[in-house]
Structure 1
Amino acid sequence: MLGKLLRKVRTTVLRIALWLLKGLNARRARRAPGPDTGTVRILLLHAYGMGGTIRTVLNLAEYLARGRDVEIVSVLRTSEQPFFDIPPGVRVRFLDDRTTTPGWAGRLLSRFPGPFVPGEENAKSSFTLWTELRLIAYLRSLRTGVLIATRPALTVMTALFAPPGVITIGQEHVTLGTQSPAMRSLFKRRYGRFDAFVTLTEADREQYAKLLKGDPPRRLLQIPNAIPELDGCISHLDEKTVVSMGRLVYAKGFDRLVNAWKTVAEAHPDWVLRIYGRGTEERRDRLQARIDDAGLSDKVFLMGSTAHVGVELSKSSIYAVSSRYEGFGMTILEAMSRGLPVVSFDCPNGPREIITDGRDGLLITSKKAAALGEGICRLIADEDLRRTLGRNALITATRYDLDTVGARWDALLADLQR
């Protein structure tokens, strides 16, 4: 009974707040300056963390900072130093700095969950009431410039609270098909407020076009991530090593890759698999147990995270992708940029838009682990094919260099300034 009453009160308060916000926006709209794309702010959950989204956003920020004032706005700070280098000329601002002790208001409000980030969002546990209020205050403080939000928790807040006069762009790094019905319903209600919404793959753009057809954003388009500058050299493709990279989570399917390696180990016992990526202790222990149970302890190695992605890729000869789904597949391009042929499950959404089967890699249409293993074995046994695919992979990677992809962002910003 009490819980039902509290939910009703919460709903009423939110409706009043949104009504007041609508009135404030109407006043702001009458006095809003003209569009300005010379200042770009990019919202990240935690700029000092480790992950594909963070790395690719920093890469984009580096390009945009060549001719613009660019600031990364990190909602959280949980570590003293960044995992990735911050590009020169790019500032970083933190809204909820958890490396320091907040004042009494921050301590009090951090005990409560916030009302605006939906419970279905994976990052919900990272947001407290204090975090949400800090983000809202920041959004309402803006007067002009471009604001790019990079994950659902940030896109839904930006669409709701960013004031008139600010050019808003939503950028999605995870495929729409992985979102819950509740999240998709929220996107449908709010994303029409964006000046532009950018997906990484054409398949995802088409899905969003169907979802938002009743109230689309001003621009809905696909722009892939650009390959960041990597260390290391082009692989000679003569190491008896296959590599795979990604967080140790269900989506990456490393359990399937271990199963696939049973097929590889039987046919080519002198080859090894190295898996790079960080995960919870529980997930790592579970995956290691699978490796041990399969008798592959001397064939498959969990290497942990690395800041030297290019070096590790250049020391291998094949890149394997066992994902159940991908938002894009940044590591595929990174592997290609080091001349590696890629063997990948043909999973939604990214691999099939990057890899041309039989030209620069192999797409495995079967979902069976053994089929992935057979694809790897094919490249191990056929050195000429491995080298041909590797050469073509280098050509494919050039379509995703920073200048090529950055020019598409230039064109979008120029379009939005009109």
Structure 2
Amino acid sequence: MALWLLQALNARRARRAPAPDAGTVRVLLQHAYGMGGTIRTVFNLAGYLARERDVEIVSVVRTAREPFFPVPPGVRVSFLDDRTGPAGPLARLLSRFPSLLVPEQERVHHALNLWTDLCLVRRLRSFRSGVVISTRPAFNLVTALFAPPEVVTVGQEHVTYGVHAPEVLRLAKRRYGRLDAFVTLTRADRDQYARLLRAAPPRRLVRVPNALPDLAGDVSGLEEKVVAAAGRLVHAKGFDRLVTAWKHVSAEHPDWVLRIYGAGTRKAEDRLRARIEEAGLSGRVFLMGRTAELGVELSKASVYVVSSRYEGFGMTILEAMSKGVPVVSFDCPHGPGEIITDGHDGLLVGSKKPSALAEAVCRLIEDRELRRRLGGNALVTAAGYDLDTVGAMWDELLDDLTERNSTGMKANFR
């Protein structure tokens, strides 16, 4: 009954809808004031779009008073569930119940609830024009179901296809076809979604990579005896494997150090620190914590290493390359293999063994000329992901969607 009513309301709104317009863009984000690759890349894209468009980041929750990353000029940030202060009685009541719109298997389910469901649907239904870009499966699914027909909808994938639970993919198969476009970061993920959605695809299914942000710091001289890594201290990033690998590296090159930038839960940090101590690597492996100036830190490194079990894209790979730092990475699904050309601008390690990763790192440590050649080529590779180049891909997509929707196709599709 509820879905029938929603369809009737959409049909009525479609008849009265103005011509589609990409002059206003709203981006749905889990929480804008946190730290993470998705937040950083969303801010970067929003800053580009705000050059010519009215851009608002709609943060579903707020858990910090101040942003970790600076908000780009011209970009507004609004919050649906502000958890930094006292909540009203209705919010307190509904927050006790789990989300009904987000499957339990979606990674942010624990952070959402019935109150965020209500806030999200209410905000979506308030839109009368423009574009909505949603940035994770939870919001892609809700946007596909509840966005009004006069709004252009674009879903984004920021991790890799293979990490999603079957229930999430089952819902994606049913709903993503309602979106006007679905955007992946890699060609491999685009192809996998094409197979999943072949019976009912969105109007556009495209790959648009993340763009490089402007980073402080000079190009590295590649002379410091420092290897760097960065990312959240979570299982996916494989820092446990990196510590094991570094035991092999340190045995051959005890004067080199490993610096790991990033943060996680206290438990995760304690576990990784204990692993470092058990491996006898205190004083050789350093947990550097968060940094808002990753570019400056990367410019002090001579090698960058990626030990991830999977990567949606691998933004830090490009950031290291932009400082002329060659990258050694496990060839995990799917980003590293689409950015790095093995032996040209970095080294890809096909084996999952830490010893293989260590061998590749040692190769760069020991071969100064190889390090310099790969680092120089890395600068050229990174230049192909500059903001103007990637931003133009978004301009083309949004312009195409609004032109095609002006024919009335969306009303018929919904």
Distance in structure 2 (CA, Å) of the matches to 1:43 and 1:211? 24
1:135 to 108, 120, 135: 120
Distance in structure 1 (CA, Å) of the matches to 2:180 and 2:370? 46
- Number of equivalenced pairs: 403
Distance in structure 1 (CA, Å) of the matches to 2:243 and 2:124? 45
Q: Secondary structure at the match of 2:304?
A: strand
Q: Secondary structure at the match of 2:155?
A: strand
**1:170 equivalenced with 2:152 (yes/no):** no
Code of the residue aligned with 1:352 in structure 2: it is G
1:358 to 340, 343, 346: 343
Q: Secondary structure at the match of 1:380?
A: helix
Q: Secondary structure at the match of 1:274?
A: strand
Partner of 1:256: 241
Distance in structure 2 (CA, Å) of the matches to 1:114 and 1:317? 46
Partner of 1:159: 144
Partner of 1:79: 64
**1:367 equivalenced with 2:352 (yes/no):** yes
Q: Could you give the per-residue CA deviations for residues 140-186 of structure 1, whole angstroms, max 9, x where no partner exists? A: 11111000000111111100100110000001101111101111100
Q: Secondary structure at the match of 2:286?
A: strand
Partner of 2:287: 302
Q: What's the CA shift for 1:107? A: 1.4
Return 5+ residue gaps in structure 1 as ranges.
Answer: 1-15
Q: Secondary structure at the match of 1:94?
A: strand
Distance in structure 2 (CA, Å) of the matches to 1:335 and 1:295? 28
Instruction: Within 5 Å, give how 1:403-414 maps onto structure 2.
Output: 403-414=388-399
Q: Secondary structure at the match of 1:417?
A: helix
2:199 to 199, 214, 224: 214
Distance in structure 1 (CA, Å) of the matches to 2:112 and 2:240? 31
Q: Secondary structure at the match of 1:290?
A: helix
Distance in structure 2 (CA, Å) of the matches to 1:100 and 1:136? 22
Q: What's the CA shift for 1:367? A: 0.8
Distance in structure 2 (CA, Å) of the matches to 1:259 and 1:186? 39
**1:334 equivalenced with 2:316 (yes/no):** no
Q: Secondary structure at the match of 1:231?
A: coil
Partner of 1:199: 184
Code of the residue aligned with 1:64 in structure 2: it is L
Partner of 1:6: none
Q: Could you give the per-residue CA deviations for residues 103-141 of structure 1, whole angstroms, max 9, x where no partner exists? A: 211111111112111100110011111111001000011
Ranges of 4+ aligned residues in structure 1 off by more than 2 Å? none
Distance in structure 2 (CA, Å) of the matches to 1:61 and 1:183? 27
Code of the residue aligned with 1:196 in structure 2: it is A
1:95 to 68, 80, 84: 80
Partner of 2:407: none
Partner of 1:285: 270
**1:57 equivalenced with 2:42 (yes/no):** yes
Superposed CA RMSD in Å reads 0.7
Greater Cα shift, 113-122 or 373-382 = 113-122
Q: Percent identity?
A: 68
Return 5+ residue gaps in structure 2 as ranges.
Answer: 404-414
Instruction: Within 5 Å, give how 1:359-398 maps onto structure 2.
Output: 359-398=344-383
Distance in structure 1 (CA, Å) of the matches to 2:103 and 2:358? 40
TM-score of the aligned structures, taking structure 1 as reference length: 0.96
Code of the residue aligned with 2:7 in structure 1: it is K
Code of the residue aligned with 2:284 in structure 1: it is K
Q: What's the CA shift for 1:388? A: 0.4
Q: What's the CA shift for 1:100? A: 2.1
Distance in structure 1 (CA, Å) of the matches to 2:329 and 2:221? 21
Distance in structure 1 (CA, Å) of the matches to 2:194 and 2:258? 40
Q: What's the CA shift for 1:41? A: 0.5
Distance in structure 2 (CA, Å) of the matches to 1:263 and 1:106? 53
Partner of 2:210: 225
Q: Secondary structure at the match of 1:164?
A: coil
1:120 to 94, 105, 130: 105
**1:184 equivalenced with 2:169 (yes/no):** yes
Q: What's the CA shift for 1:102? A: 2.3
